[in-house]
Amino acid sequence: MTEDVFKALADPTRRRILDELAERDGQTLFEICARLVSRYGLTLSRQAVSQHLAVLESAGLVRARREGRYKFHDIRTGPLEHIANRWLRPEKPKGTP
């Protein structure tokens, strides 16, 4: 799973999508596309952004939820916390299990 997270984060567009969701969670595909255009000048098709979201979702970084006709996307930080804790946990003194 960690490898999927690194692959998902390797793409700058996906990192920008995560930035947008971190700033304002629960956005629709249309909202994400509009923010990518207005903030970064990225004119990607909705299909392309949807594919990026699918990669992020399969890596566990985004959760999609339906409410009526709308599909909202939320950031999930658990996989990032797992990676950070892997290398940033406090060091144990030598000789300690």
Q: Please state the domain count of the chain.
A: 1
Residue 95 covered by a domain? no
Q: Tell me what the mean pLDDT of segment 47-66 comes to.
A: 97
Q: Would you state the structure tokens that stand for residue 19, as one six-digit string?
A: 């930035």
Domain hosting 72: range is 2-85
Residue 48 covered by a domain? yes
Q: Tell me what the mean pLDDT of segment 62-89 comes to.
A: 91
Q: Tell me what the mean pLDDT of segment 54-71 comes to.
A: 96
What's the CATH number where 29 sits?
1.10.10.10
Query: Mean pLDDT in the chain?
Result: 92
pTM of the model: 0.85
- Three-class secondary structure of residue 60 per DSSP: coil
Distance between first and last Cα of the chain: 26
Q: Tell me what the mean pLDDT of segment 2-12 comes to.
A: 93
Residue 22 covered by a domain? yes
Residue 61 covered by a domain? yes
Which is nearest to 62 in space by CA: 26, 92, 10? 26
Residue 94 covered by a domain? no
pLDDT at 10: 96
Q: Would you state the structure tokens that stand for residue 72, as one six-digit string?
A: 């909202």
pLDDT at 92: 65
Provide the 8-state DSSP code for 73.
Answer: E
